[in-house]
Amino acid sequence: MADTSFIAWPFFEDSHRSHFEALSLWCETHAHDLHEESGDVEADCRRLVKMLGGAGWFRAAVPAAYGGSTEKLDVRTLCLTRMTLGYNAALADFAFAMQGLGTGAISLFGSEAVKQAYLPKIATGDMISGFALSEKEAGSDVAAMDTSATKVDGGWIINGEKTWISNGAIADVLTLFARSGEAPGAKGLSAFVFPTATAGFSVTERIDVIAPHPLATIRFENCFIPDDHLIGEPGDGFRIAMATLDIFRSTVGAAALGFARRATDEAVGRATSRQLFGAPLSDLQLTQAAIADMALGNDASALLIFRAAWAKDRGQPRVTREAAMAKLYATDTAQQTIDKALQLFGGAGVVSGNTVEQLYREIRALRIYEGASEVQKVVIARATIAETKG
């Protein structure tokens, strides 16, 4: 039986506890459907969006005024949702995460018209969203972005290419970042709501990765976006991207924690049932050391994740340092935990289709996207130096 003692921690309110219990139960009941694979990851993702949207779980990804379940984006609810879905089915977690990340900037900074137009359909799963920031030459170095937004009468013309875009080929709407040129570097970027039905938009490449996700390279050729699809003010793009990541980075840590908790449970199940040298594998003290490391890593990750989420929910305007710590620690630690779990399985651990084998592939990208581990270290160090200097 999985350890769920964390849910009693004082970071949570009763509404969080009942959300966690209801989602855990739903995942258990729908375990078979959550894992159905057709061999076409885009089709699988669309199916999961319908399933999760139909059950109401995307309501956690938008504010209540637009069909959501909490008044504003509630980071603890987002984290509990990702942790629980991550524990049960990584692609379902991905589908949920993208509905939130893809429209987070709209929820936080969008005009009323744009919020009304998109968020209710995101909440029901009738629309799929994506977050289009990265380019071939601008991943960690966001300010090197080249995709352009040129002001014209009544709107903007977008030209350029984005890559690594989750849901790039299946999204109905993207939060798009482009260079609008108010200033050099990061201060010359703007954020837009971009409907993918816009003329001039195309998918140029599908990208296969170690753990199948719908990833694509997408192209914009003279795409016209009306003025009310600008999010915030011209030149606000970098600030908007960072404010969105302030919320969603903790949730990447939460997904990693879900993977790690699942790996721990799988490993304990294996170690207590596998007989080695006349006794269960779990009787060996080196096995116990591995299990202790896993349990410790999970609790330490949970403390950092829910600290960051709680701080944001109670009104701390920026939680950049806390969210960076949560993401960095939880993703790096989950990688180690899953590796230890796989080791306890021996040869069976590397057999395709084994849960720990799948988790071993799933965890890797989380240490790279939404800011690689090294980027999080830079963020933490800068904040620490600034605070210490006063």
Contact positions vs ligand FAD (CB under 6 A): 130-134, 139-141, 164-166, 209, 213, 215, 365, 368-369, 372, 374-375, 378
Relative to beta strand 173-179, strand 189-195 is antiparallel
Smallest gap from residue 212 Cβ to ligand FAD (A): 10
Q: Which is nearer to ligand FAD, 13 or 37 (CB)?
A: 37
Q: Which of 167, 97, 174 is nearest to 132 (CA)?
A: 174
What is the closest distance, in whole angstroms, from the C-beta atom of residue 361 to ligand FAD in the complex?
11
Would you state the structure tokens that stand for residue 275, as one six-digit string? 């007989």
Residues 6+ apart with CB under 8 A from 133: 142, 145, 162, 177, 241
Contact, 265 vs 24, CB < 8 A? Answer: no
Residue with smaller CB distance to ligand FAD, 11 or 212: 212
Name, in order, each residue with C-beta under 8 angstroms of 319's C-beta and a sequence gap of 6 or more: 246, 250, 308, 311, 312
Contact criterion met (CB below 8 Å) for 100 and 109: no
Q: Select 174 or 290, whichever has its Cβ closest to ligand FAD.
A: 174
Furthest C-alpha separation in the chain: 79
Please tell me the distance from the alpha carbon of residue 269 to that of residue 348, in angstroms, as a whole number. Answer: 13
Q: Output the smallest distance, CB 381 to ligand FAD, in A.
A: 10
Q: Please, is 363 exposed, middle or buried when counting C-beta atoms within 10 Å of its C-beta (0-12, 13-18, 19+)?
A: buried
Which residues have a Cβ under 8 Å from the Cβ of 4 and sit 6 or more positions away? 20, 24
Asked if residue 290 lies in contact with residue 309, where contact means CB atoms within 8 angstroms, the answer is no
Q: Which residue number places its CB atom closest to ligand FAD?
A: 139
Report the alpha-carbon distance of residue 239 to residue 108 in Å, rounded.
12
Report the distance separating Cα 4 and Cα 100, nearest Å.
25
CB closer to ligand FAD, 80 vs 365? 365
Nearest-approach distance from CB 141 to ligand FAD, in angstroms: 6
Q: Which is nearer to ligand FAD, 74 or 135 (CB)?
A: 135
Half-sphere exposure of 119 (CA within 13 A, CB side): 29
To ligand FAD, the closest distance from the beta carbon of 377 in angstroms equals 8
Taking the complex as a whole, how short is the minimal distance between the CB of residue 103 and ligand FAD, in angstroms? 13
Minimum CB–partner distance for residue 94 and ligand FAD (Å):
9
Contacts of 44 (CB under 8 A, 6+ apart): 36, 37, 38, 91
- Which tokens is 260 given? 């790690």
Q: Smaller CB distance to ligand FAD: residue 148 or 280? A: 148
| Active-site pick, 233, 322, 370, 387 | 370
Minimum CB distance to ligand FAD smaller for 84 or for 134: 134
Known catalytic residue: 21? no
> Which residues are catalytic, by number?
370
